[in-house]
Amino acid sequence: MSLSTKRRFFWMQEDRAAAAKHGGEINAWHTLSLPGVICGTCGETWANTGHEYPCVDLSQLPELKAFERPRPEPFPEFTRLRELVRPLAPLHSELPPGTGFGPLVGRASGKFGPFAWVWGQKLLVRRDALTQLKTEGIRGLHACPTQLRFRQKDPPALLELQIPPHGRLHPDCIPSDEPSPCVTCGRWGLARPEVPILDAASLPTDMDLFKVGNFATMVVGTERFVEAVHRLGLDGIRFQELPARDGVAPPHGM
């Protein structure tokens, strides 16, 4: 039996009906980030989305102000700033332009279910739901405090999940005429495929929650994660099964 038939994976997105039922609202962002890039090779000015490390603390960096103002920088300066951050980030993190760091900062109001989403990409979990998932044996859950200012008394304890990018899209869902990433800055202009397919051989085997490595706006959960969420009756996530095929991962880095 092939690897792709042994494991099942699900694209996780906000359940808007559940969010509307609870009525909570969040307007927040990561106040520290790598700058965007002005690339002299491909001519693009860009920053990525979906790469966030809320548990990474940059507060002791001597050039902290360089990470406070979103802006594009020439690639050599971006590279210099990225190397200042790298020792603080998880091992093997790609850290593309626009990567966010530190706690989620902003305003929140209303009630929230077990899960809440910010801008449809950042996944927050109530502390009690996190405890339940860990009790169920869900692997790779790394939650970080937020700095959300609530209007009401006794606000819910919401934590942001630090979800690492792993794995790749399968070559079968990438157009054959899609240009390769820029050799200098790594920019890859691929739009999300209409039917995303995961490269089964590239996917992690030791965690139940991750983002797609070369399309990090996609949050993926394993069958174990989905079953635990359903068993515990935790709402807030809509699951769509993704096909996964064996094969060699494409050489696209971002």
Tens of pLDDT, residue by residue over 200-220, are: 999 999 999 999 999 999 999
Pairing of strands 209-212, 165-166: parallel
d(CA 85, CA 246): 34
Check pLDDT > 50 for residue 254. Answer: no
In degrees and rounded to multiples of 5, residue 122 shows phi and psi of -85, 125
Q: What is the pLDDT of residue 121?
A: 87
Express each pLDDT in 99-137 by its tens digit: 999 999 999 999 999 999 998 889 999 999 999 999 999
Coil, helix or strand at residue 202? helix
Q: What is the pLDDT of residue 247?
A: 66
Average pLDDT of the chain to the nearest whole number = 93
Express each pLDDT in 236-250 by its tens digit: 999 999 999 986 544
Check pLDDT > 50 for residue 223. Answer: yes
Find the helix or strand (DSSP H, E) in which 117 lies.
strand 115-118
- The percent of residues in the chain predicted with pLDDT above 90, rounded, is 88
